[in-house]
Structure 1
Amino acid sequence: MQTDKKLVLWDIDHTLISLRGFGRMIYGEAFLSVTGQPMREAADLTMGGTDRAMSAEMLRSHGIADPTGALLESLGGALAEAFVRYEAGLGEYGGILAGAVDALTALAGRDDVIQSVLTGNMEPIAIGKLRAFGLDRYVDFAAGAYGMDHEDRPELVRMAQERAAVKYGGPFTGVNTVLIGDTPNDVRAGRLGGARVVAVATGSCDADMLRAAGADLILPDLADTEQVIAAVLGTAAR
């Protein structure tokens, strides 16, 4: 039986918050501590990749073999440790994007909406980023999926739907799942993973790029709360 609740999966970076240079910094520290060599080049942290995929690519691009995946797991742990060292001062690197608090608050007040996250960040970093800006109160992290869960972002949608179904009952499918993000990778995740996609042009990708990727609806930002709610509920015009 289809649940009457809608699962809303928020991307974090450049959708709810924006942090300048923070990701590259902690990746650099983590990479050095695990491999013993400086990070010569980082994966593109603005295009919606997962921490698992980006970490694996960085090892490969530096000529480091990891046949057992042990280095990948160590790099994930080092990323989490690096994040903890800087979490208290996260506000120095950026802040909450316009309209995010109002949108989260409005949706949190609805009995027919479950809010969680679908993010390339590993779980402790995702929780820490939202906690640092007081946004953690609005989402159920247990119903989300994270960047070390899988390299391929569409798989994260399926994982989040399964976790939400276990906790809230009833299946979550493309009919009652909405993904909100700012990159073509977010759009791809929803299209292939089974979610309707509301894209926001608040990151490095403009509306044309998001439209070409196949977003169901595109908003300039989250500033118009009524527009955001209508987009989530499926009552907004394309």
Structure 2
Amino acid sequence: MWGQGFRVGAVKLVLFDIDGTLLISQGIGREAKRRAMTERFGTVGDLDNHAFGGQTDWGILAALLAPHGYSSADIGSEILDYQACMARHMKAIRGGYSANALPGTFALLAALQARADVLPGIVSGNTGATARIKLEMASFDPAAFPIGAYGHESPRRDDLTRLAWQRAQEHSQATIHPRDIFVIGDTPADIQAARAIDAVAVAVETGYAPRQSLLKSQPDFLLADLREFLAIFPA
């Protein structure tokens, strides 16, 4: 349980997932993937039946395209072009979709931004370019999250929390203790990604993962939504 490692005055890093944590985007990601995969790879594999929750876009492509002869390394060599292609398609169709901020998100961000000892960031399975589009669609300012690690950077979500931690220390020019890092997400994969760096795992029930699956993953905290976060965050 979090508590013993907290240090007064230390930099706190708060890393948010996007889909199911900050916002709900109503299917635009799946449709943009369909169009980008068709353009770049000529197939979408079993896209319609694939569950995205907690996975990175690189990992999703690797899983969907493995039966068609693509390795994870093959995906890695294509991922930047794929990111640009998917972002182009997402921009083209965004008028037909909505993205809505989840309860408590704007108030929480304002409270965190008011503190000099807190650094907000994103760890998302979305590519960096499509993450920005989704945030803007839901009226978030992407600049509110100076730290980020995204789904085009690794097939493994655990790598993204490590990368965000490294970038946060470089950004703040300070050593950030793992137990001063709060990783917030709506899937067991988010909890595991927090565990990978010994960070505080905060699960929220605003996504698609059943409550029991979140409890089984043993987060440090399980919240109904982000309106409850400040009650467990150090003042």
Decide: shared fold, TM above 0.5.
yes
Give the equivalent residue in structure 1 for 2:3: none
Give the conservation status (yes or no) of the 8 Å contact 2:120–2:145: yes
Give the equivalent residue in structure 1 for 2:195: 191
Give the equivalent residue in structure 2 for 1:124: 129
Q: Secondary structure at the residue paired with 2:203?
A: strand
Report percent identity of matched pairs.
Answer: 29
Give the equivalent residue in structure 1 for 2:232: 231
Give the letter aligned to residue 224 of structure 2: P
Give the letter aligned to residue 217 of structure 1: F
Q: How many residue pairs end up in the alignment?
A: 225
For the residues of structure 1 that align with 2:145 and 2:99, how far apart are their CA atoms? 24
* Structure 1 position 56 matched with structure 2 position 62: yes
For the residues of structure 2 that align with 1:74 and 1:204, how far apart are their CA atoms? 30
Give the equivalent residue in structure 2 for 1:164: 168
Give the letter aligned to residue 37 of structure 2: F
Q: Secondary structure at the residue paired with 1:93?
A: coil
Counterpart pick for 1:22 among 17, 28, 32: 28
Stretches of structure 1 that go unaligned for 5 or more consecutive residues are none
How far is 1:77 from its partner? 2.9
Give the equivalent residue in structure 1 for 2:185: 181
How far is 1:73 from its partner? 4.3
* Structure 1 position 44 matched with structure 2 position 55: no
Change over 3 Å in CA distance of 1:30–1:218 after alignment to 2 = same
- When structure 1 is superposed on structure 2, of 193-202 and 128-137 the one drifting more is 128-137
Give the equivalent residue in structure 1 for 2:158: 154
CA deviations on 1:123-181 (whole Å, 9 max, x unpaired) are 1111221122221256233x221111111111111111111111101222322110110
Give the conservation status (yes or no) of the 8 Å contact 2:10–2:176: no
CA deviations on 1:171-223 (whole Å, 9 max, x unpaired) are 2232211011000000010011331011101111133211211210001112x
TM-score norm. by structure 1 comes to 0.86
TM-score norm. by structure 2 comes to 0.87
Q: Secondary structure at the residue paired with 2:47?
A: coil
Change over 3 Å in CA distance of 1:21–1:51 after alignment to 2 = same
Change over 3 Å in CA distance of 1:136–1:35 after alignment to 2 = same
Give the conservation status (yes or no) of the 8 Å contact 2:191–2:219: yes
For the residues of structure 2 that align with 1:232 and 1:180, how far apart are their CA atoms? 12
The RMSD of aligned alpha carbons is 2.1
Counterpart pick for 2:12 among 6, 10, 35: 6
Equivalent runs, 1:65-76 vs 2, <5 Å: 65-66=70-71, 68-69=74-75, 70-76=77-83
Q: Secondary structure at the residue paired with 1:205?
A: coil
Give the conservation status (yes or no) of the 8 Å contact 1:122–1:148: yes
Give the letter aligned to residue 189 of structure 1: A
